[in-house]
A = this chain, B = another copy of it.
């Protein structure tokens, strides 16, 4: 049987430790192609490069693995992999993105370049997974992630995913006790409350750093925030149909301007 073709990308950039960890696991599962940003792209959401050019260069960072670094966003990387590098060739069997340095639970899925790359894969009809480690430290320990990254990717390759679905996988930070298991979750109802730290540059002109606190409003036990807090790996299936279907009847009934 032909080995699966695995497209690997991320948003922390091709030199990050997270993508190296991901590539090392994927080499055990199939043929790997890396197309990742040449600079950090955290918080890029589903941005794409419009009205500007893209650069693409071969990278030799990963032993025995074909790799490219791209000047664009994570979503650009998936697009250029599919429609340029692999144009007219076999397409990936799975797109994996990460491992992100930091949590992408709850509302962070919207701001996450990691997850937007995965969702871009799902838009193209390919099963896709974004992996994040809930540890922002530069020295974060990734050693406990490999087991779960491998299990979940194998499971996806074996059972596929419902069409148009990308998985948002978050892995708890390394703690003293072992991870309890893997839970299928919904996106928690939580958000960031920002603050803007005003400073002055050497010329006396103001600028701001955006900072924020994460606030969890969710009391349920079936969401990704609960899972991480309770030392489970969370898996949220995500879709790219943003329609609030339940709001359609309300608008059709309440609005008098339709016609």
Contact = CB atoms under 8 A, between A and B. Distances in A.
> Which one of A189, A244, A248 has the highest number of Cβ atoms from chain B below 10 Å of its Cβ?
A244
Contact of A242 (B47, B196, B238): B238
Given A53-B209, A75-B45, A257-B151, A240 B165 contact: no
B54 A49 contact: no
B187 A53 contact: no
Contacts of A183: 258
Contact of A165 (B76, B161, B189, B244): B244
A144 interface: no
Nearest to A254: B159
B42 A181 contact: no
B242 A187 contact: yes
A189 B163 CA distance: 12
Contact of A247 (B76, B119, B151, B161): B161
A76 B208 CA distance: 11
A162 B226 CA distance: 26
Given A237-B243, A244-B237, A245-B186, A84 B258 contact: no
B42 A187 contact: no
B255 A184 contact: yes
Nearest to A102: B50
As for how many copies of this chain the complex holds, the number is 2
A: contact size bracket: 35 or more
A194 interface: yes
Interface in A96-136: 107, 109-111, 116, 119, 123-124
Nearest to A113: B47
B43 A45 contact: no
Given A187-B241, A255-B184, A47 B50 contact: no
Contact of A240 (B80, B107, B207): B107
B79 A194 contact: yes
A205 B53 CA distance: 12
Given A43-B49, A45-B45, A47-B43, A244 B255 contact: no
A43 B50 contact: yes
Interface of A: 40, 42-51, 53-56, 75-76, 79-80, 82-84, 107, 109-111, 116, 119, 123-124, 151-152, 155, 159, 161-162, 164-165, 168, 180-184, 186-187, 189, 191, 193-196, 198, 205-210, 235-248, 250-252, 254-259
5 contacts: A54-B207, A54-B209, A55-B205, A151-B257, A237-B243
